[in-house]
Every structure is written in C-alpha cells, then in structure tokens.
Amino acid sequence: MHIHDQPKKLLSFMWSNSKVQILLTAVFLFGGIVWSVFEQKSLSEQWHDWIHPLITGATFIMALVIWQNEKRQEWENYLPKKLDIVYLLNGKVYIRVNNAPLTSEVDIRSWGQSIGQTILNRTVRIDFTGFKITSAGINRKRRVMHYGLTIFLREKIEGIEAGRIFEFDEEGNLIPTQEKMLKSVEQEQSYAPAIES
C-alpha cells in the first residue's frame, strides 16, 4: 500500500462506519451558517437563542449514537463465531468445511489451515499459496457471527477425496457422516457463505 492511499482509506473507513453522524453534522453546520447569516441579531444573541442549545442537543445525540454503536459492537463480539472454509485447487472448489467453530477473528487463517492439516486428514500438512477472508456477517436466524475463508491449494490434500463437504454441529464437533458431496466440483468457481439477515 502506498503512503498516498492511507488518507483515502481512512476517509473511506470513517464514511462507511459513520455516514449518519457525518451527514447530520454537515446538515447542522450548513443550516446553522445559513440561519446565522439571515438572522438580524448579533452573534452573542444568536448564541444564547439557538446556537448553544443546538450544540448541546447535537452533543447529546452524538453521545447516544456512540453509546448505541458501542452496545452493538459488544453484542456482535458476544455472538458465537462460525467459519465456512473453501479449499480451492486450480480455481475450483476442492472441498468445503461448513460451520466450523471459531474463537476469534484473529484465528481465521490459522484455524482454517489447522482444520485442513489436522482434523480432516490426520496431521498431513497441506500445501497452499495463500488465503482470503471472503465475507463476514451476522446470521440473525441462528444468532452467530459468520465468516468465510478461502484457501488456495497448490496440491490435493492427501487422503481427502475432491468434492467432499465436511460439517461441524452447533457444539463444534465434526459430524462423523461424510456423505455430502459437491454437486459438481468443476462447476463451482466461487464461494460465499450464506448470511441470513
């Protein structure tokens, strides 16, 4: 990332996370400036009449919005976390793992790698070139925070047949029945976990 891109990314992040606050602040400022220009009173009279109450009200509303955002973040952090993993080989889905338990967002890559080389094929290392976290969202129906991970394989995973779908139950145990198979490994080119809103 170039140093010139950092301010753009910061502004983009602030806009995506605070659209309502930024828009309300801009409307208040613009409205206040226009009102003060057309008002026949002095600035000190306007301060006592409407500027001070407006600033006080805006501060109170902003505090409520910040509090609400913090509570929403706490609730999201409290939700159980689940991970769907797709292992791609030559641009096609090789295997899938659905509903894997996840302790934290920082564990996504290492846990996806660990599942592939310990749980599914009993400590045979996997050879991969990289990974991508593909999505994250709240599954409101199940009340879980859902993540997706794609791992790009160099070679097949030893001992695992292409097209398998592995699933974990809600308690975090690998379901022993492995009857599920992808409909067509060749047809599946991309993946995104189903996030129900």
Phi-psi category of 122—alpha, beta or left, where left has phi over 0 and alpha has psi -120 to 50? Answer: left
pLDDT digits (tens, 9 = 90+) for 114-133: 887 777 766 677 888 888 98
Mean pLDDT of the chain: 76
The DSSP annotation for 127-190 comes to -EEEEEEEEEEEETTTTEEEEEEEEEESSPPTT--TTBEEEB-TTSPBPS----B-S-TTT---
pLDDT for the residue 195: 45
CB-based burial of residue 70 (10 Å sphere; 0-12 exposed, 13-18 middle, 19+ buried)?
exposed
Assess whether pLDDT exceeds 90 at residue 152.
Answer: yes
Instruction: Supply the pLDDT for residue 122.
Output: 67
**CB proximity list for 31: less than 8 A, separation 6 or greater:** none
Half-sphere exposure of residue 73: CA atoms within 13 angstroms, side-chain side: 7
Q: Angle, to 10 degrees, between the axis of helix 5-38 and the axis of helix 52-78?
A: 150
Q: What is the mean pLDDT of residues 173-183?
A: 68
What's the half-sphere exposure (Cβ side, CA atoms, 13 Å) at 177? 3
pTM (predicted TM-score) = 0.61
pLDDT tens for 187-196 read: 444 444 444 4
Please give the single-letter amino acid code of residue 67: W
3-state per-residue secondary structure call for 21-41: HHHHHHHHHHHHHHHHHHCCC
CB atoms within 10 A of CB 195: 18
